[in-house]
Chains A and B, each alone.
Chain A
Amino acid sequence: MNRMMLFIPLIIFAVMAAFLGGGIGRENKDVLPSPLVDKPFPQFILQQVEAEKQLTQTDLQGKPMLVNVWATWCPTCKAEHEFLNTLAAEGIRIIGINYKDDDEEAKIWLRDYGNPYEFNISDPKGKLGLELGVYGAPETFFVDGDGIIRAKHVGDLNQRVWDKYKAQFAGMITHVDPVAAELTNTPMGEEK
């Protein structure tokens, strides 16, 4: 019998060890792919945290934005907050979803740690979170000017992560809000 045959089990073992060993490193909750990428942001009607105002998905259009899911009970959200402040200072548009949280506590948090958000959507029951497939805060959605989700990041946002998405974000479609554009064309707009 061919002696080389004896090595077949060893070779199979080596191949499987390489394949499965590679899988161990990749087993990372951060890479759970979202089926929502390249889909429109889900419809919703929810209150704003900071004001008595109703918000819908149409508020998430115009200029490309980060939609950041956060909560005061989430330690990682605290860790990434400073970086969000930095991004906001650079002129990046950030919208918050206050996920399964208390509006009053959220307001205190924003007062104490700074507010990088253009506005915050109040989602106390996690209904919008469920529509978005959120499974752990913080999560960040990259939404373009048409209100289409282009990418999703699970976990905290930091310089290293931002470098990865920066180019894609910069290349996203930007729109002047059609409603606002119409308004500026009307006599009322000209009066301004």
Chain B
Amino acid sequence: MKLIVALCLSLFALTSLAVVDGHKYPFDNEIDKGRFEVLAEELRCPKCQNQNLADSNAPVASDLRDKVYELMNEGQTDDQIVSYLVARYGDFVRYNPPVQKNTFFLWFGPGVMALIAFFIIIRLTRTNKKSQPLSEEESTKLAELKAARSEKQES
């Protein structure tokens, strides 16, 4: 099972990194290579905001990939590299925005909406299920109908 998951994940990584010419960023170990791939996927291209650094062909994305590679080779940690770019391009370069005042809605909005929907569904289904007992008039009518039906079947 674990193997299958790992294989699926690795396929995912292959497709999204297709644009980045791998030969341009040589690493001497697999750990750094993985780090670079994760960073390039988690950082957003500021010019074309719906693409990450790995996917984008924009010149600025290429510059930022070079910078990430350069900083990595200087021995900076992932956090240091991300904050380096955030200091220059703002939180917009992160696909994984920090939890802060102006991102509360982004982080908790979907959960809150799901909860609201959940309560509405519960209320709607509960109220529908409640059935009133038949009034006397209705019961006699029902009995009549039943009798008429059985007579019809017998004949």
Contacts and interface: CB of A to CB of B under 8 A. Distances in A.
A80 to B, nearest CB: 18
Interface range for A: 20 to 34
A36 B49 CA distance: 19
Size bin of chain B's contact surface = 20 to 34
B70 to A, nearest CB: 10
Contact of B86 (A1, A5, A35): A35
Interface in B77-111: 86-92
A10 B124 CA distance: 15
A32 B46 contact: yes
B63 interface: yes
B67 interface: yes
Contact of B89 (A9, A29, A35): A35
Contacts of B67: 130
A136 B45 CA distance: 11
A32 B60 contact: no
A189 interface: no
A5 B122 CA distance: 13
A35 B63 CA distance: 19
Contact of A36 (B47, B88, B127): B88
A183 B83 CA distance: 41
B88 A29 contact: no
Interface in A11-33: 12, 29, 32-33
Contacts of A136: 47, 60
Given A29-B49, A133-B46, A136-B60, A35 B127 contact: no
A35 B59 contact: no
Interface string B13-57: 000000000000000000000000000000000110100000000
B92 A32 contact: yes
A34 interface: yes
Nearest to A36: B88
A135 B60 contact: yes
Interface of B: 46-47, 49, 59-60, 63-64, 67, 86-92, 116, 120, 123-124, 127-128
Closest 8 CB pairs of A and B: A135-B46, A133-B88, A133-B89, A35-B90, A135-B47, A1-B127, A135-B60, A136-B47
Interface of A: 1, 5, 8-9, 12, 29, 32-36, 100, 126, 129-136
